[in-house]
Amino acid sequence: MTKPILLVKPEDIKPSFPKWEVVGVLNPAAIRLPNNKIVLYARVAESAVHEHEGQKMCPYISGKGKTHNLLVDKSEIATEVEEYMFLKEGICLMTHISHLRKITLDETGTKVEKIASVPSFTGNKTEGNFGVEDPRIVKINKTYFMTYVTVSEDTGICGSLATSPDATKWQRKGIIFCKQNKNVVLFPEKIGGRYVALHRPEGSLNFSDPSIWISYSPDLKYWGEETSIIHPRKESWDEARIGAGPPPIKTAKGWLLIHHGIKKEKDKKVYSAGAVLLDLKSPEKVIARSPKNKPLFGPEEDFEKNGFVNQVAFPTGMVPDLDGKSVLIFSGGADRVITMRKITIEDILNSLEYHAPKEEKIESKTPTSKNNKRLKT
C-alpha cells in the first residue's frame, strides 16, 4: 500500500459566496469515466465569516433556493458537537452547510486537472436545506447513480438518490432511505435481477451499535428484505460503529467492500478503514473480514490526524487502477482534506480473516480491468 497522498485541501476550493470560507473538502465519490479520467464529487463544507459578537451563524436554504444565515444568540446554545449545534429548547442546527463540488483527476488519480469554481450539486428546501453530504457513485449499464446524505429541517438525515447519463447533469430521485440513515451504497450491478444497497440506519433508541445493513429493490424506490450483516466488534478498531465506504467491486472471490470503523480512545474517536468480502450471489453472506486488531489503514499523516475532526481516515471512493491489479481509494482526512491510497487487490484479500475454510493463496497476476468490470484475482 502506498502512503496517503494529499490531493485537495480547503484552500483549493473557491467559496460559494463573498465573505464565506471553506472549512473542509472531504468524503468524495469517485468514478472512472470511459476516457479513463477520474471524477470526484467532493463534499465541501463552508460557512459565513462570523462578524456578530455574541451570536453564531447557521446557514440554510430557503424555499426560493437561496442560502441564508440564521443568527443564534450564544446564550441559547446548550452545546456544540463538531458541526452540530444543539439549542436549549432541543432544536439541532448546523454551524456550516455542505454541497458537492466536481473535481477532475488524471488517469493515475494523483493529479488534479480541474476543480469546479461553483457548487456542482446542492440541497434545496425540501431535500437538504441544511446541506448534502458524503456521496457515492456507481455506473449500472449506461446510467450513473449517486447516493448521498440529505440534512433537512423537515426530514432529518436521510439517504437520497440522483441519476445522470454523463456524471455531470443530475436528476434527483428523492429519498430512498428515511431518517436516520447514512452511508447508502449501491452495488454496481443487479444481483438476481434486483438492485442491492448497503446502508446504516440509526435511531434515538439503539439496543446495539450502528451496523451495516443490506436491502434489495426491484426499482430503486421500494426496498425490502433488510438484514443487518456487518456489526461492530468489541475490543476492535471498529468497536463503536461502522459504515459502508465506496461501492463494492466484484472480484473472483466475492464482492470486496471497504468500510470505516470507529474506536473510542479515552476522550477521542479514531476512524479507520477495513475490508469485508461478501458472497457474489448472496451478498448478505460475509465470507471474510479485516482482523479485529488490524484495520486496512488508519490515520497516518498529519493531515489525517489533525483537522476539523482529528484522527479520521474515512474512505468513500474507489476505482480500479489502470494496472489491473490495484485500486485507488479516496478518503476524507480529518474531515478537512481529500487523500488517495493505492493498494493491490491481492494485498487486501490476503489481509482478511476468512469465515469459511481458508481460501487458497491469492495469485499475483490480475488481468486489466476498466471501470466497474469484474477484477479477477
- The per-residue pLDDT for 312 is 97
Fold of 5-354: Tachylectin-2; Chain A (2.115.10)
Map grid coordinates 455574541 to a residue: 54
Average pLDDT value for residue range 235-252: 96
pLDDT digits (tens, 9 = 90+) for 320-361: 999 999 999 999 999 999 999 999 999 999 999 998 554 444
User: DSSP 3-state helix, strand, coil percentages of the chain (rounded to 5)?
Assistant: 5, 50, 45
Bigger pLDDT: 69 or 131?
Answer: 131
Where are the domains positioned within the chain?
Answer: 5-354
pLDDT digits (tens, 9 = 90+) for 247-275: 999 999 999 999 999 999 888 899 999 99
- Ranking 38-47, 99-108, 246-255, 263-272 by mean pLDDT, the lowest is 263-272
Indicate if the pLDDT at residue 363 is higher than 80.
no
Question: Alpha carbon 108 to chain centroid distance?
Answer: 21
Backbone angles phi, psi at 25, to 5 degrees: -125, 115
The pTM (predicted TM-score) of the whole model is 0.90
Residue burial 175-188, b: 16+ Cβ < 10 Å; e: rest: bbbebebbbbbbbb
